[in-house]
Chain A
Amino acid sequence: MTRKDNNPIVSLLSRIVSPFIMLFALYVIFHGHYSPGGGFQGGTMLAAAVLLIRLAAGREISQLQFKKSWGTPVGSVGVFIYFFTGFLALLMGGNYLDYSFLPLGLEAPVTRGWGILSIEIGVGLAVMGILVAIYDDLLEGEPND
């Protein structure tokens, strides 16, 4: 890009809008049991909120919000949550990814509901981290705009 100046209107507006996008993304993830939504959609919206600041404020300033080196670790944490939930069910005596064996002390259907929530959080983190990481990697070596 050849843009030299920073437009204050775009910068201020994106700074106001980004937290609300994140809040709505969290709503989409955690309300995915009762309405259309879930980990993939919420994770994509979280990534959109981060990338909005990336586009509006430039890459140097946006490091304050989400560092460039965090993308891949956040994605790995998401995948690890998924694997760990499956292994926990395996250790408690059930099949792999059979959430009714999770040690919560509730009835089987309710336990499965909580297991699904854990899975959704893992998927959301993974999608967010990897999308931001792909964007950052594609701009690697470009001059800052």
Chain B
Amino acid sequence: MLNKLLKHDFKATGQVLLPLYGGVSILVLLYIFGWRMVEHLQASALLAGIPRWLAAVGGLFGFLSVLGVLALFICCMVVNILRFYRLLGDEGYLMFTLPVTAAQQLASKLIVAVSWTVGGILLVFLYGFAMAVPLPGSAPMEVYPVPGITTLQLAGALALAALVALAGIACGFLFVYLCCAVGGQWPQHRLVASVASFFIIQFVLQVALMVVMGVAAFGEVTTGWLSGISLNVYNLFNNSLAAVIYAMLGCILLIMVVFGGIVWAVTNHFLSKKLNLA
């Protein structure tokens, strides 16, 4: 059933996001194409200087491209949050009477939201690549080595960083879903309750984080336990910079997975055991 939900959710969000992604891509790629063309003409001495009007058009296109990319991510976020929010409104009367579990509903919304966001990020990488790829006849792209780390280790670190980013995106959406689910407990004031939940839960989490950091800092000052652990980790991995980066990213990933797991479980509990559609 999850694949059917995914099909339905991708189709619904795609109606809004596909034209937007397509439009922004055309705009940005047109800008990059023009920019690269001017660059090529200048390199081949066919164009001595950039005329004022061309610079103005280029600047306008560049500005619109940046706005377009910003709009792409904002719309992606808003569309996906609204899709979940509406699940607890009139659309819930259809979606929650389908023979699927609350966890499947949640999974579908999350996978779709993360996929569109990752799709947007990949597009930005594509724009970056289109801007940086060397023109025919120009010097090839140089890759500068990072001291103390091999290319393979760097690739591993980047892959781990990508996983951390993916977990971060998923946690972000899950957190907003949780706030919507909590807000859904007050069906008559759902929007206000959802927004209030967002700020209250965030405040509580920040206070909790500050307390944990305060305790950790106090422990570090009095016993030096944190430095001890750091040194032990460094020694454990034979003073390898890559291993330390892996350990750090691994810890962040673990924290995100645990946080995301808790938020998922609580949201799923609200959807399956405390559902109260107005």
B and A form one assembly: no
